[in-house]
Amino acid sequence: METQILDIGEDSLSAAKNILEEDGLVAFPTETVYGLGADAFNGEAVKKIFEVKGRPQDNPLIVHVHKDYDIERIVCDIPSYSYKLAERYLPGPLTMVFKSRGRISPVVSCGLDTIGIRVPSHEGGQRFLKFVDMPIAAPSANISKHVSPVTAEHVYADFCGKIPLILNGGKCSGGIESTVLDCTGEVPCVLRSGLVTREMIAEVAGDCTVFVPKAGERVRSPGMKYKHYSPNCRTMLFEYERLEEAAAEYKKERAAGSRAYIMCDDGCAKRLLDKIPAEHMLLLGNSGEEIASNLYFKLREGERVADIIIAIAPEDRGGVMVGVMNRLTKACGG
Ligand code: TXA
Ligand code: MG
């Protein structure tokens, strides 16, 4: 199969719609990462997502809709705090889980009676969703367990020859996947951290909990139990306080002939300037938002140039950094 990368316009959107109507898959941009989409009403099409990704059969997909779509057609029991959250944060990187009306294909939710709904803010992504005017089931457009894609080229690297069309919307600005929020209870509960933080949700909803699985307890967001986001090279992760050890590790690897690279934020890089040449650094930036935006891009760059990525965790741990650290830890083997 030939895989086309096309800019978003009338022709490419018509092509995308045709593909979706014939049970096919289309990759499309969102503000977080690229998605690999299928018609969410069409079980046969949705099955193909699991096949091409190599995704475990018990990890449900989320459903993407345009901003004028009436989600009450597909989910019910929407609590009042969700309307407030939607008012404030949608379109945007927040996925809300509601009770399903049973109309979306059961393949999407892997047998759960709930559905995660996402309204992305990316202009090209919105245009696509509006044009096809159907709910689109989509996980991140990467081979299962690989680093999520933030450019059309990243999607191509994983799915060349396996999907017909990638809609090109440039580099995703957000950089880590949406916050997944369980909205089936009285108090919303974060199942996966992201750019819409627990604090931002609590500010609007009055309260917000974070799901932390206890040993033996069922994982409520099934995707969280799998190894994830891993580049195709060796990785190590050091705490911020242990940057000297990271530098020593770099030196040892280089001496052994390995292409070792240090991945860290800009502040940390300054402290290492006398030990690590700038061209062997994968810089993540300064603020939490900047680091989130660069993380997958730099991990993908790293796997192309490095035998080993030696990452140093940023010092700041609040807000957006909760989600960043979750990804970084998993990328480096948990
Ligand atoms: O930003 C994003 O969310 C990206 C873009 C493409 O929209 N999508 C994405 O999808 O990250 P995916 O499939 O890689 O992650 C969806 C997460 C998984 O951890 C999954 O287990 C969880 O959402 N999830 C999906 N449906 C759920 C449900 N009904 N209840 C609880 N968790 C659910
Ligand atoms: Mg994913």
pLDDT digits (tens), the chain, 334 positions: 999 999 999 999 999 999 999 999 999 999 999 999 999 999 999 999 999 999 999 999 999 999 999 999 999 999 999 999 999 999 999 999 999 999 999 999 999 999 999 999 999 999 999 999 999 999 999 999 999 999 999 999 999 999 999 999 999 999 999 999 999 999 999 999 999 999 999 999 999 999 987 766 666 666 555 557 899 999 999 999 999 999 999 999 999 999 999 999 999 999 999 999 999 999 999 999 999 999 999 999 999 999 999 999 998 888 999 999 999 999 998 6
Domain assignment present for residue 258? The answer is: yes
Atom nearest to 55 CA in ligand 1:
13
Atom nearest to 34 CA in ligand 1:
6
What residues flank ion ligand 2 with Cβ within 5 A? Answer: 140
- Same domain, yes or no, for 78 and 24? yes
- Same domain, yes or no, for 241 and 278? yes
Considering its fold, how many domains does the chain have in total?
2
Strands 165-168 and 26-28: parallel
Domain assignment present for residue 219? The answer is: no
- Same domain, yes or no, for 254 and 312? yes
**Which residue CA neighbors atom 21 of ligand 1 most closely?**
223
- The closest alpha carbon to 30, from 114, 111, 149, 153, belongs to 149
3-class SS string, 184-199:
CCCCCEEEECCCCCHH
Q: Specify whether the CB–CB gap between 306 and 274 falls below 8 A.
A: no
Atom nearest to 192 CA in ligand 1:
19
**Which residue CA neighbors atom 32 of ligand 1 most closely?**
221
- Same domain, yes or no, for 288 and 158? no
- Same domain, yes or no, for 23 and 80? yes
Domain assignment present for residue 278? The answer is: yes
- Structural domain harbouring 257: 234-332
Domain assignment present for residue 229? The answer is: no
- Same domain, yes or no, for 81 and 157? yes
- Same domain, yes or no, for 105 and 182? yes
Q: Specify whether the CB–CB gap between 40 and 203 falls below 8 A.
A: no
Q: What is the CATH number of the domain that holds 279?
A: 3.40.50.11030
